[in-house]
Amino acid sequence: MEAAPERRIRVLVAKLGLDAHDRGAKVVARAYRDAGFEVIYTGLYQRPEAVAAAAIQEDVDVVAISSLAGAHGVLIPELTRLLREQGVDDVLILAGGIIPEDDVPALLEAGVSRVFGPGSDLNEIIEYTKVNVKR
Amino acid sequence: MTAEERAAELFARLATGDRRALARAITWVEDGAPEASALMRLAYPRTGRAHVVGITGPPWAGKSTLVDRLAVELRARGQTVAIVAVDPTSPFSGGAILGDRIRMQRTLTDPGVFMRSLAARGHLGGLSPATAEVVGLLDAFGFDVVLVETVGAGQSEVEIMELAHTTCVVVIPGMGDEIQAIKAGILEIGDVFVCNKADRDGADRTVNEIEMMLDLGHMGEPGINRWPSETEGAQASQSADGAAAPDGKASVGARAGDAALRRLDRTGHHSAEELGNVASYLTRAAAHAAARHGTANPGDISWRPPVLKTVAKDGLGVAEVVDRLGEHLTFLKETGRWQARREHDAARRLEELVRERVVRATLARARAVGDFERLVRQVADRQLDPYTAADEILRSHWGG
Amino acid sequence: MAGGERKERFAGVSDRPVKRFYGPDDIAGFDYHRDLGDPGEYPFTRGVYPTMYRGKLWTMRQFAGFGTAEETNARFRYLLEQGQTGLSTAFDMPTLLGYDSDHPYANGEVGKLGVAIDSLEDFEILFEGIPLDKVSTSMTINPPASVMLAMYLVVAEKQGVSWDQVSGTIQNDILKDYIAQKTYIYPPEPSLRLITDTIAFCARHVPRWNTISISGYHIREAGATAAQELAFTLANGMTYVEAAIRAGLDVDEFAPRLSFFFDVHNDFFEEIAKFRAARRIWARVMRERFGAKNPRSWMLRTHAQTAGVSLTAQQPENNIVRVTLQALAAVLGGTQSLHTNSYDEALALPSEDAVRIALRTQQIIAEESGVANVVDPLAGSYYVEYLTGKLEEEAYAYFDQIEAQGGVIAAIEKGWFQQQIADSAYRFQRRVQSGDYKVVGVNAYVDPDEKLNVKILKVNPDVQRRQIERVRRVRETRNQQASAAALAELRRASQASENLMPYIIECVRNYCTVGEICGLWRELWGEYREESVY
């Protein structure tokens, strides 16, 4: 007999634009996996359209964007705009990496729920995700 | 809204080509949501059109890269493509890294392509329980081709063969002891074999080994697909010395003598005895498979699987793979196997569903009055044997 | 705890268990002349030069770059005024990846992580007022390295400085990009061709130029341990030597101009030992395996940078202390050149104040601490000699594993290095999570009410617009015929097997852009796709 179907939280860990730093994204992806989530990592050099398409096709609960190249102010709002335009309104959007305090309000405005800076505790990220998933 | 109503509303959107609805429907089915069975009922009439192709093979064979290229080629030929990639779930955490999407970079913003990554979710070594239903939804949505990618491990080869119309087995050169590796399960299930990373050393040897094994199992001329009529096949099996396989296919191993076997050995590495053993093994396995999985799969000597070489990362050899996949589909349709397969699948599915429900209902009733637990204790203590216990359950609780 | 110690197990950042103390037994078989030699003597364990810092201090070379060429030029001049002795250039992501500032993919990224360079005009501004015969310049650039070098040479020419007077380094190390830094563009074969072309060209025409900076820094920053950093870097180095020899060069023609670039991380003694082990291994490999005859071919000369990943956003002033200890380790390790990170590095690119403190850190070590008065003072320490030997042993074990996979490139294609690194990174993170590894301000001595009060550098948002205007103007106002002809010639030569440097130089002279040149190669050679593991 098969095990009963179970609900798993699905996370898309994304790198946008030309940012080549992938250490953090990979560590976070594994941490999510070890906490029982199903994780899809986009890999490097993704255009916002490709990340939006992935988020939709994979029907993820969470999009976690890692940004260490300073382009967060342009690329993250572009991504959230694409998601909104395609009717996606029930995905938790998180950002992490090197994002100055001053830039956080604009990201929250754009639809990001929380920004995790360097040195963030992985358990905190995971707990926050579990508690704030929208579905 | 009830679950049925929600399912109907979502399905109505899916039917207009709404990809978000499709993605959500897949989630409901994967999660076993209350809407799932209503969704599948609505989807079912629209299924049965897509060509479902299974892509399996060991890890690091470059399957995802090949799938990416296949999708590009299919799109160039005007087909719409859905991709389902299944990855194992971690037994420790229940989570999973779904790592195939990352290798499919060429087509993901193409509206004619849809990709979904699935975790096996506790289904050891194989496809996730919902994979068949996910494929059904993609079929119902209208994709021409559904590519299902899975790591060949444990049971999944068998499952992919049951799920797919055409199974493509991907190997790489230098897999070590060729005959052992090949015997380990893949030869029986492949309709098309691909040696990827063929720019590496040992590619030709790997191809030759597989060709040789296929010759032993198929007796056909290498590379040519023979589609004999039913009568031809029957005549062939009658002339065999009484060792016909259960569904009437000829048994090669029983007919070929040493000299014939050695002629088929292109590599010169194997003794006649080895070859004879392999031939009998393959014939028996093929017959077994044919009996279990319907006539559209190996064991069916009228389709001689081609063995192709590709370098997927450079796109080499991919067009030919698509050609052969298409040829296999044509073969299935022209020889009546497509229809036979539909009936076989319907029978199997119906049997599965009936069996599931009967078992569930019967055991639920037995548990509800404590009979099941009581009988378990008696059987465990050897006061009762399990066959008698089962009889008792059926007598008391079946069909009630 | 056992024996009155604070913990069951003591291990530093590489998770290497450490005994309570080390003695003669730990270096049994040690032989001074075989294992160390005097400073400047084979196998150079004690340093590549006999006088080391008594002859010349290490080059103080702070990595700098942001915004447009004007802003970076100003930062360069500031640093030189403050006593820096060499330049080091940081380019923005579009430049690193061969895109012009007006390419759609460059949107939002122009000038953010480094200076935006699109054409020779930017280079002319970048080095305005900086005499290229007096100042050596390092450029952190990989696939487009040949283009940056070409621009530098043309600027030098325009200053009246001949190419044999020009000195500096291009990073030009594509293998570590596939492994860790990830700023790759093209597949391995054409990438190696570009590298061997620059090596061959400079061997003849730019003799004082370091044509490659074989780097471990990025490998370490991506999560590798010290032993992995050491082994993977040297394995890459050997792969380049093999490639250059296959391309027809004599080893002594180019080996003296190979240079290295290591990280310098927290574990003080492990880092010092790493530098010493690196020199010893390389000297032996060059002399015994590659048969180099020129002693300069046996010398591992290196730049070092303090570990960016070790810096915290919490209580950022603590970073000054971290960097000081790391810089000291690099000096005791015998580095030729050093970059010290600024304390605000975990928040943004360095502000002027922060980079000045970083520079002063080096100057205080040089002038006040006394460590520069003596060469390799830690030689003979049981612990340091033990560690040096142990790291060497571990490196050789990794070399065997790499060989077993068919070499560096085969291992890269299998994702082997990347998996090792991802595993080490994850293990380290778990140690931090569990508190086994303490990071002050983050999981120890945390200030819950911390209010960040650091003025960080903000890249002028106007930079992108200005740079886009500039590159468009350059394209419009250059000699169209000459630039088109130069590109056509480059295309032809790229499809043949000629040395591309002269053609690249001709292109940049005529104001062809970085995007045009790199785009041409993208067309011809395709883009590399990595086998992503995690």
| CATH value at residue A23 | 3.40.50.280
Structure tokens, B358:
């009967």
Contact B173, B205 (CB under 8 A): yes
Question: For the residues of C37-64, what is the DSSP string, one character each?
Answer: -STTSTT-TT-SSSSGGGTSPPEE--EE
pLDDT computed for residue B178 by the predictor: 53
d(CA B230, CA B252): 17
Q: Is residue C264 classed as helix, strand or coil in its secondary structure? A: strand
Q: Is residue B114 classed as helix, strand or coil in its secondary structure? A: strand
Q: Would A2 be classed as within a structural domain? A: no
> How does DSSP classify residue C179?
I
Best to test chain B binding among A11, A26, A33 (most B CBs inside 10 Å): A33
pLDDT computed for residue B230 by the predictor: 36
- Chain B residues whose beta carbon lies within 8 Å of the beta carbon of residue C426: none
Best to test chain B binding among C531, C532, C533 (most B CBs inside 10 Å): C531
Long-range CB contacts for residues B263-270, cutoff 8 Å, separation at least 24? B264/B212, B264/B215, B264/B216, B265/B212, B266/B208, B266/B211, B266/B212, B267/B205, B267/B208, B267/B209, B267/B212, B270/B179
- Residues ≥6 apart with Cβ < 8 Å to C353: C455
Q: Is residue C416 classed as helix, strand or coil in its secondary structure? A: helix
Q: Alpha-carbon torsion C17, C18, C19, C20, what sign?
A: negative
Which residues, in sequence order, are bridge partners of residue C210? C169
User: How is the beta sheet containing B113-119 ordered, strand by strand?
Assistant: B113-119, B81-87, B145-151, B51-57, B166-171, B192-195, B307-309
pTM: 0.87
Q: Alpha-carbon torsion A84, A26, B25, B22, what sign?
A: positive
pLDDT computed for residue B157 by the predictor: 65
Spacing of C-alpha C131 from chain mean position = 23
Tracing tokens 């082990």 back to the chain, one arrives at: C277
d(CA B14, CA B58): 35
Q: Would A65 be classed as within a structural domain? A: yes
Q: What is the pLDDT along chain C (534 residues), one digit of tens a residue?
A: 567 999 999 999 999 999 999 999 999 999 999 999 999 999 999 999 999 999 999 999 999 999 999 999 999 999 999 999 999 999 999 999 999 999 999 999 999 999 999 999 999 999 999 999 999 999 999 999 999 999 999 999 999 999 999 999 999 999 999 999 999 999 999 999 999 999 999 999 999 999 999 999 999 999 999 999 999 999 999 999 999 999 999 999 999 999 999 999 999 999 999 999 999 999 999 999 999 999 999 999 999 999 999 999 999 999 999 999 999 999 999 999 999 999 999 888 999 999 999 999 999 999 999 999 999 999 999 999 999 999 999 999 999 999 999 999 999 988 999 999 999 999 999 999 999 999 999 999 999 888 877 888 888 889 999 999 999 999 999 999 999 999 999 999 999 999 999 999 999 999 999 999 999 999 999 999 887 777
Q: A119 to chain B nearest CA, in Å?
A: 23
CB contact under 8 A, B313 and C529: yes
- Smallest CA-to-CA distance from C341 within C227, C263, C259, C432 is with C263
Q: Would A38 be classed as within a structural domain? A: yes
d(CA C379, CA A127): 49
d(CA C372, CA C12): 26
Which helix (H) or strand (E) element contains residue B104? none
* Chain A adjacent subunits, 3+ CB pairs under 8 A: B, C
Contact C340, C362 (CB under 8 A): yes
Residue A26 contacts C where some CB pair is shorter than 8 Å: yes
d(CA C324, CA C362): 8
> What are the two backbone dihedrals, phi and then psi, of residue B121, each rounded to the nearest 5 degrees?
50, 60
CB contact under 8 A, A33 and B97: yes
Amino acid, single-letter form, for residue C525 = W
Q: Is residue C230 classed as helix, strand or coil in its secondary structure? A: helix
Which residues, in sequence order, are bridge partners of residue C63? C88
Tracing tokens 């064979």 back to the chain, one arrives at: B61
Distances (CA, A) of C489 to B251, C143, C492, C493: 65, 20, 5, 6
CB atoms within 10 A of CB B347: 11
State how many domains chain A has.
1
Amino acid, single-letter form, for residue C161 = V
pLDDT computed for residue B208 by the predictor: 86
User: How is the beta sheet containing C337-339 ordered, strand by strand?
Assistant: C59-60, C337-339, C302-306, C258-264, C212-215
E strands along B204-346, which residues?
307-309
HEC profile for C352-408?
HHHHHHHHHHHHHHHHHCCHHHCCCCCCCCHHHHHHHHHHHHHHHHHHHHHHHCCCH
Collect the ranges in chain B with pLDDT lower than 70.
124-126, 152-158, 175-185, 217-270, 272, 275-276, 278-301, 399-400
Q: C227 to chain B nearest CA, in Å?
A: 27
Q: Chain A to chain B, count of Cβ pairs less than 8 Å apart?
A: 97
Residue B199 contacts C where some CB pair is shorter than 8 Å: no
d(CA C99, CA C464): 13
- CATH number for the region B47-337 comes to 3.40.50.300
d(CA C275, CA A131): 47
d(CA A26, CA A48): 19
Mean pLDDT of chain A: 93
Domain carrying residue A91:
10-127
Q: Alpha-carbon torsion B130, B131, B136, B139, what sign?
A: positive
d(CA C348, CA C92): 14
Q: B142 to chain C nearest CA, in Å?
A: 31
Range list for CATH 3.40.50.300 in chain B: 47-337
CB contact under 8 A, B97 and C529: no
Q: C6 to chain A nearest CA, in Å?
A: 25
Q: Find the residue in A nearest to B30 (Cα).
A: A5
pLDDT computed for residue B212 by the predictor: 79
Q: Would A132 be classed as within a structural domain? A: no
CB contact under 8 A, C429 and A27: yes
Residue A47 contacts C where some CB pair is shorter than 8 Å: yes
Measured N-to-C along each axis, helices B3-15 and B19-31 cross at an angle, to the nearest 10 degrees, of: 140
Q: Could you give the maximum distance between any two Cα atoms of chain A, in Å?
A: 55
Q: Which CATH number fits domain C2-405+428-434: 3.30.470.20, 3.20.20.140, 3.40.50.2300, 3.20.20.240?
A: 3.20.20.240
d(CA C417, CA C407): 11
Contact B248, B239 (CB under 8 A): no
CB contact under 8 A, B90 and A54: no
- Smallest CA-to-CA distance from B298 within B45, B54, B123 is with B54
The residue-averaged pLDDT of A66-75 equals 94
Structure tokens, C90:
């940081």
CB contact under 8 A, A8 and B119: yes
Q: Chain B to chain C, count of Cβ pairs less than 8 Å apart?
A: 11
Instruction: State yes or no: cis peptide before C43, omega within 30 of 0.
Output: yes
Q: Is residue B162 classed as helix, strand or coil in its secondary structure? A: helix
Residues in chain C whose Cβ is within 8 Å of chain A: 93-94, 96-97, 99, 105-109, 112-113, 181-183, 221-223, 309, 312-314, 346-348, 422, 425-426, 429, 433, 439, 442-443, 452, 456, 458-459, 530, 532, 534
Nearest-by-Cβ selection for B26 from A35, A43, A59: A59
- Chain B residues whose beta carbon lies within 8 Å of the beta carbon of residue C412: none
Structure tokens, C509:
């002279």
Which residues, in sequence order, are bridge partners of residue B117? B85
Residue B108 contacts C where some CB pair is shorter than 8 Å: no
Structure tokens, C529:
């796709």
Spacing of C-alpha C234 from chain mean position = 13
Domain boundaries, chain C: 2-405+428-434
d(CA C145, CA B145): 44
Contact C79, C62 (CB under 8 A): yes
Distances (CA, A) of A33 to A46, B95, B114, C350, C534: 22, 5, 24, 35, 11
* Chain B adjacent subunits, 3+ CB pairs under 8 A: A, C
Q: Is residue B366 classed as helix, strand or coil in its secondary structure? A: helix
Q: Would A1 be classed as within a structural domain? A: no
